[in-house]
Structure 1
Amino acid sequence: MWILYNVYKNFKNTNSISYPKIFTSGAARICTNSKKEIVQFPNYTGPGAKSEIVFIPDENNYFKLRENAFKSGVNVLMSDIIGIKRILPDRRPDACKKIKYPENLPSISIVITFRDEPMSCLLRTIYSVLETSPENLIHEIILVDDGSVDEELKLAVNIHASNVQKLKLIVHERPLGLMIARTKGIEQTKSDFFIVLDGHIEVTPGWLEPIIHRLVQQPNVLLTSHVGEIGREIFEFILDDQYKLFCAFDPITIIEEWLTYSWAFRDTRNGSVEPIEYGTIPGMMTAMRKEFFYKLGGFDTGMEVWGFEHIEVSVKVWLCGGHVEMIPCSKIGHLYRDIPWQNMYPDFDYKTKNKLRFILVWMDGESKKLALEALHRGNYSKQIDPGDLSDRFKIKILNKCKPYEHYIDQLRKISNPFIPRNVRKSGNIFNKATDKCLEITSIEGIFELITSHCGDHVSQFCVLTDNMNIRISSHWIKLDGRKKKLSFPTQAQNLLVPELKWKFDEINGFIISNTSIGCLTVNNYGQVFLKTCNDSPLQKWSWFP
């Protein structure tokens, strides 16, 4: 604890803070044979890049510490080893580094929300922003503690907020949920622009200027950075190709997913580092002009606890006169961990409520019908109350928002997503011989088709498209032609390929691959595979309802 409390004393007088360190693994060789060593961690440079390792007699001590450290979902032991000051490497393309931004860029307010965050992760988020951002561009950093109970964390944050200029702390004695916490933070900002960050983010050099510059250029834009991953074991920084994937959501299950840019769209980019269209922002980073944010009603505070607020705000930006973009020249890292908000109300299905509010207000047509049908399956309750939606519908009217199809049109410009349209059938696929239904399941990440007792499960929810593709839950049923086995991708760039098309013989009940004479067949163990059609009852299926 003294390490974290003493940081302010040294903060202004040094570029590096030297801490006694403890054992490390993965990022450096296991140090069990020497009393003390200096180890260079890979993947980042700057203050704290060299770590002093203190001897631990044997590996068992480390693994005991590590097991305890992972109680919060990440290796807090390693996080504490790294300390609260490090600078991630500058991963910007050379073209980004050559851009000269105006000297008169306005300052921006940054809101960081947290609840029982690992202390070193949260403080590293704060100092990452302070260390890598030009001082004149940071108007303030608003810290919103949404009901933390960790007394050591609360004391540490209070000490830093009291001693570091530009930090302001807002404390909620009881948790209000992520949407309200973020809203309360934005309400306290003094700048015309804001960025909302999770409490487990690290930014990289040059991340801020392109965000502010774009907000000045385009008043009606919702922005996110190019987000990489910080590993939860050794906290390495992993950054994928910025032109490959974009954040969106499954059109039926409304589960967040990453979609692939079409090759045609990527060709039009030609390696450009200009802002790039996104489907929706990921939830960990939001940047907007405050006036536009409030004009669209802000976050939906009728949603509760955590989840889908970023989907709601993204779709309504597209529908109500704005654009959603990722800024390739702004790179940040996000630590994927268990979110404390998730465990606030274990018996309350808040995710369904949040999805339901989004679907009822912003979706329409066949997309809305199928999303509602999928939502009301499994543990989801048709009796759940979405709450008052009148203010959300007023937003649509006042801003003359376009139909949901406009959002779909934006996706089609950058990708080839599946959008429900002219669906032939939806429901369960029933096997007459076994009296069971088709279901998709997975064991250790390997998906397979089985049959099980028919129920109101989303894993049994099937859609037959107008192109004769079969979708079960969020997976396509595809024939792997080389192995003559079934595969189950979640994305399909071209639904017209024969491997994704099926013939449904409604008279005889066969589901036949378009590439062969094989039929979907269930065996005595409930496994479903492709077998030569032989008129067996195990090959006869029907749809219901």
Structure 2
Amino acid sequence: MRLRVGFILRSVIVIATFLGLVVLWSSLSPIEPWKSNRPNAPNLLPKNDIADQFKPVVPWPHVEGVEVDLDSIRQKNRGDDKLVPGKPAGGAQNQQNVIQKQYVTFKPHTNVYSAPVLRKGTLGNFELKEPEPHGVQDGPGEGAKPFVLGAEYHEAAQASIKEFGFNMVASDMISLDRTISDIRHEECKYWHYDDNLLTSSVIIVFHNEGWSTLMRTVHSVIKRTPRRYLAEIVMIDDFSNKVHLKERLEEYIKQWNGLVKLHRNEKREGLIQARSIGAHVATLGQVLIYLDAHCEVAANWYAPLVAPISKDRTVCTVPLIDYIDGSDYTIEPQQGGDEDGLARGAWDWSLLWKRVPLSSREKAKRKHKTEPYRSPAMAGGLFAIERDFFFELGLYDPGLQIWGGENFEISYKIWQCGGQLLFVPCSRVGHIYRLQGWQGNPPPAHVGSSPTLKNYVRVVEVWWDDYKDYFYASRPETLTLAYGDISQLKKFREEHRCKSFKWFMEEIAYDIPMNYPLPPKNVEWGEVRGYETSYCIDSMGHTNGGNVEIGPCHRMGGNQLFRINEANQLMQYDQCLTKGPDGSAVIVTHCNMNENTEWRYFKDLHRFTHIPTGRCLDRSDILHKVFIADCDTSKSTQKWEMNNIVAV
């Protein structure tokens, strides 16, 4: 009996001790916030309320959606919940609308990065402490000094220009590792950058490129990029057939032990889609940096270009692009811009690339003149973008062909869908521009067609909203142009709540109409043909003061496509026909809405009248001249007709 009682007492003590330990453990353990039942717990709403109803709309391609900070939105818009006399208490629904409008499905920014700091007088931490070694001491083109060939090379140089667009004879004599002049603003040398920069894959697309201009691009990147940030250089061969781009190239890049990779397309894709292929092939870098195949990066180009992206992954950056002369290989800044040579990317209403001076509104946003600044558009050949962000945007429209318009498409997509496009004054890259006489290298399947115009139409149909009417006023030949299926692109824009083009024009591209006014409606358009002849007015590609001429009608539009609008302007793109300095010749000049309203077309009389002088448009088919003369109804050379030309 005593044994049984003792056993029971010991059991009770053990159980009591165990229960006491459980209670003590529970009192010491924290309660997880998401399990709290407190009525005032932050970020919680009753089941089936707004927070429960709001779900990610549609994820960006390959990326999960991310919930927004509801509290910050409520605080920012707390006035929505206030009752207004005579207004229904619809605050909850209004709040939901606000949340949905601000919902973005970008991946969150996770890289911790401090903003650059300008310390005048203290050399920046990414600047070279010693002068860059020469490619060849006092060699041709060293320091970007002009390298001019003798007369004995003239024939060979011209042949290379026809084939490649550059003087390859001179280029082949210049070191691939040459030094170049530093033309940055002095202030750029004193910026200090957080060294927690993202890594990059540099992508270079080429097709039948000359050897030395292509490899000088690669050499300059390797020479002037800190190795810790250069993950890889990916060369995309867009179906080249030049012998020097075959085995020789494969052997040459082996010297870099895998840093430089070569991918060969199995068919000609065109520059646009080859860049998208490059995004898939380049997997090692966090940032994709696109360079044309004939560039030279300058001193400390990398840190300024990648720093804004390292701080905000939805930023796309563009270096200042300097002009490399394709004949003597000197380097100088692009002309135009403000007093510091700074310009924003722009376009006229026919979608020709333009540059406009940096506005006072943009200057006011910056403390220092060498800080990055906003640009509505990029030229397209050189830019940096976070890899995942580029994929979230869907890369380039897969329906864009060969070249042209892709720079505007990606610019609009970035801005209207929540990103930013910044030009970076302290990152400079030289670019060789093709010389006159280059034969070009379009894919045979696209010779005689208008892939660039089709690209333009796709872009404006997706992104311009009602503003597309201004494009069609400037490019009437595209009104019936087939441009393919864009339903998925429009769906993408709708599902991702991208902003309107009106918002974009008012908030970002506000200065473009100041430089390129919205075009009036057309009265007539087409070729201006001598009545019952086969001769047409041709601008001959002249702009800003060049004479127009008479030439055989070719029915291909281009330099022979004109329009006369309700403002009495006889135009081609952004150029207006006007009276020349001698009072007789007809020239083209940049249109001024207040000055170039000077033509009236009398269709029934087949006559163009010059309003300020009361004289008529005349021509000499023999001398190929167009001029203004006293009106004479008996002269057949003063009779004209405008015939529509449709792009194909």
Instruction: Tell me if both proteins adopt one fold, taking TM over 0.5 as the criterion.
Output: yes
Equivalent in the alignment of 2:264: 171
Equivalent in the alignment of 1:488: 588
- Amino acid in structure 1 at the alignment position of 2:493: K
Equivalent in the alignment of 2:491: 394
Query: Residues 250 and 121 (structure 1 numbering): CA distance in 2 closer, same or farther, change over 3 Å?
Result: same
Q: 2:598 aligns with which of 502, 512, 520?
A: 502
Equivalent in the alignment of 1:257: 353
Query: Displacement of 1:212 after TM fit?
Result: 0.6
Equivalent in the alignment of 2:473: 370
- Amino acid in structure 2 at the alignment position of 1:400: R
* Alpha-carbon distance in structure 1 between the residues aligned to 2:239 and 2:308: 34
Larger CA deviation: 473-482 vs 208-217: 473-482
* Alpha-carbon distance in structure 2 between the residues aligned to 1:163 and 1:433: 66
* Alpha-carbon distance in structure 1 between the residues aligned to 2:224 and 2:497: 40
The answer as to whether partners of 1:428 and 1:438 remain within 8 angstroms in 2 is no
Equivalent in the alignment of 1:25: none
Query: Residues 436 and 390 (structure 1 numbering): CA distance in 2 closer, same or farther, change over 3 Å?
Result: same
* Alpha-carbon distance in structure 2 between the residues aligned to 1:266 and 1:524: 50
Write the mapping of 1:203-242 to structure 2, written as runs, cut at 5 A.
203-241=297-335
Larger CA deviation: 133-142 vs 413-422: 413-422
Query: Residues 262 and 131 (structure 1 numbering): CA distance in 2 closer, same or farther, change over 3 Å?
Result: closer
* Alpha-carbon distance in structure 2 between the residues aligned to 1:17 and 1:451: 50
Write the mapping of 1:258-297 to structure 2, written as runs, cut at 5 A.
258-261=354-357, 272-297=369-394
The answer as to whether partners of 2:344 and 2:355 remain within 8 angstroms in 1 is yes
* Alpha-carbon distance in structure 2 between the residues aligned to 1:529 and 1:270: 52
Does 1:417 pair with 2:515?
yes
Q: 1:93 aligns with which of 185, 209, 212?
A: 185
| Deviation readout 1:411-450 (Å, 9 max, x if unpaired) | 3336623354552524248689767897332288843154
- Amino acid in structure 2 at the alignment position of 1:66: A
The answer as to whether partners of 2:474 and 2:519 remain within 8 angstroms in 1 is no
Q: For residue 399 of structure 2, give the secondary structure of its aligned residue in structure 1.
A: coil
Equivalent in the alignment of 1:358: 459
Write the mapping of 1:295-444 to structure 2, written as runs, cut at 5 A.
295-337=392-434, 342-345=442-445, 347=447, 349=449, 350-365=451-466, 366-370=469-473, 373-375=476-478, 384=482, 386-409=483-506, 410-413=508-511, 416-423=514-521, 425-428=523-526, 439-442=537-540
The answer as to whether partners of 2:586 and 2:627 remain within 8 angstroms in 1 is yes
- Amino acid in structure 1 at the alignment position of 2:157: R
* Alpha-carbon distance in structure 2 between the residues aligned to 1:276 and 1:484: 45
What number of residue pairs does the alignment pair up?
A: 492
Query: Residues 470 and 277 (structure 1 numbering): CA distance in 2 closer, same or farther, change over 3 Å?
Result: farther
The answer as to whether partners of 2:537 and 2:560 remain within 8 angstroms in 1 is yes
- Amino acid in structure 1 at the alignment position of 2:385: M
Query: Displacement of 1:399 after TM fit?
Result: 2.4
Query: Residues 544 and 301 (structure 1 numbering): CA distance in 2 closer, same or farther, change over 3 Å?
Result: closer
* Alpha-carbon distance in structure 2 between the residues aligned to 1:84 and 1:304: 32
The answer as to whether partners of 2:136 and 2:178 remain within 8 angstroms in 1 is no
The answer as to whether partners of 1:429 and 1:437 remain within 8 angstroms in 2 is no
Q: For residue 354 of structure 2, give the secondary structure of its aligned residue in structure 1.
A: strand
| Deviation readout 1:485-511 (Å, 9 max, x if unpaired) | 54312x44x422x3x122638698875
Equivalent in the alignment of 1:34: none
* Alpha-carbon distance in structure 1 between the residues aligned to 2:157 and 2:601: 57
Query: Residues 306 and 504 (structure 1 numbering): CA distance in 2 closer, same or farther, change over 3 Å?
Result: closer
Equivalent in the alignment of 2:48: none
Query: Residues 41 and 522 (structure 1 numbering): CA distance in 2 closer, same or farther, change over 3 Å?
Result: same
The answer as to whether partners of 2:528 and 2:562 remain within 8 angstroms in 1 is no
Query: Displacement of 1:482 after TM fit?
Result: 7.6
Query: Residues 439 and 111 (structure 1 numbering): CA distance in 2 closer, same or farther, change over 3 Å?
Result: same
The answer as to whether partners of 1:158 and 1:169 remain within 8 angstroms in 2 is yes
Query: Displacement of 1:285 after TM fit?
Result: 0.6
Q: For residue 130 of structure 1, give the secondary structure of its aligned residue in structure 2.
A: helix
Does 1:519 pair with 2:590?
no
Higher strand share: 1
Q: Max radius of gyration: which structure?
A: 2
Larger CA deviation: 286-295 vs 346-355: 346-355
* Alpha-carbon distance in structure 1 between the residues aligned to 2:453 and 2:245: 31
- Amino acid in structure 1 at the alignment position of 2:256: V
Q: 1:125 aligns with which of 199, 211, 217?
A: 217
The answer as to whether partners of 1:518 and 1:530 remain within 8 angstroms in 2 is no
Query: Displacement of 1:326 after TM fit?
Result: 1.8
Larger CA deviation: 431-440 vs 91-100: 431-440
| Deviation readout 1:317-371 (Å, 9 max, x if unpaired) | 2332333332111111112235975245353623343334324323343124335
* Alpha-carbon distance in structure 2 between the residues aligned to 1:372 and 1:392: 22
- Amino acid in structure 2 at the alignment position of 1:475: Q
* Alpha-carbon distance in structure 1 between the residues aligned to 2:517 and 2:431: 29
Query: Residues 443 and 543 (structure 1 numbering): CA distance in 2 closer, same or farther, change over 3 Å?
Result: closer
- Identity across matched positions, percent: 21
* Alpha-carbon distance in structure 2 between the residues aligned to 1:439 and 1:65: 36
Q: For residue 136 of structure 1, give the secondary structure of its aligned residue in structure 2.
A: coil
Equivalent in the alignment of 2:95: none
Query: Displacement of 1:298 after TM fit?
Result: 0.7
Query: Displacement of 1:203 after TM fit?
Result: 0.5
* Alpha-carbon distance in structure 1 between the residues aligned to 2:562 and 2:486: 30
The answer as to whether partners of 2:525 and 2:563 remain within 8 angstroms in 1 is yes
Query: Residues 293 and 536 (structure 1 numbering): CA distance in 2 closer, same or farther, change over 3 Å?
Result: farther
| Deviation readout 1:121-151 (Å, 9 max, x if unpaired) | 1111111011111222212222222222234
Query: Displacement of 1:235 after TM fit?
Result: 1.5
* Alpha-carbon distance in structure 1 between the residues aligned to 2:383 and 2:499: 23
Q: For residue 380 of structure 2, give the secondary structure of its aligned residue in structure 1.
A: coil
Q: For residue 66 of structure 1, give the secondary structure of its aligned residue in structure 2.
A: helix
* Alpha-carbon distance in structure 2 between the residues aligned to 1:487 and 1:402: 41
Query: Residues 512 and 404 (structure 1 numbering): CA distance in 2 closer, same or farther, change over 3 Å?
Result: farther
Query: Residues 17 and 292 (structure 1 numbering): CA distance in 2 closer, same or farther, change over 3 Å?
Result: closer
The answer as to whether partners of 2:297 and 2:428 remain within 8 angstroms in 1 is yes
Query: Displacement of 1:73 after TM fit?
Result: 2.4
Query: Displacement of 1:299 after TM fit?
Result: 1.1
Query: Displacement of 1:198 after TM fit?
Result: 1.4
Equivalent in the alignment of 1:475: 575
Larger CA deviation: 218-227 vs 465-474: 465-474
- Amino acid in structure 1 at the alignment position of 2:487: S
Query: Displacement of 1:120 after TM fit?
Result: 1.6
- Amino acid in structure 1 at the alignment position of 2:462: V
Q: For residue 191 of structure 2, give the secondary structure of its aligned residue in structure 1.
A: coil
Does 1:248 pair with 2:346?
yes
Equivalent in the alignment of 1:113: 205
Q: 1:182 aligns with which of 262, 275, 282?
A: 275
Query: Residues 17 and 464 (structure 1 numbering): CA distance in 2 closer, same or farther, change over 3 Å?
Result: closer
| Deviation readout 1:28-72 (Å, 9 max, x if unpaired) | xxxxxxxxxx65646438xxx9x9x9xx9x953x34543554432
| Deviation readout 1:280-315 (Å, 9 max, x if unpaired) | 212321211223322221112222233332222122
CA RMSD of aligned residues (A): 3.9
Larger CA deviation: 227-236 vs 144-153: 144-153
Equivalent in the alignment of 1:81: 173
Equivalent in the alignment of 1:154: 246
Q: For residue 454 of structure 2, give the secondary structure of its aligned residue in structure 1.
A: helix
Q: TM-score normalized by structure 2? A: 0.66
* Alpha-carbon distance in structure 2 between the residues aligned to 1:512 and 1:483: 15
Query: Displacement of 1:192 after TM fit?
Result: 2.7
* Alpha-carbon distance in structure 2 between the residues aligned to 1:226 and 1:339: 28
Query: Displacement of 1:180 after TM fit?
Result: 2.5
Equivalent in the alignment of 1:26: none
The answer as to whether partners of 2:217 and 2:295 remain within 8 angstroms in 1 is yes
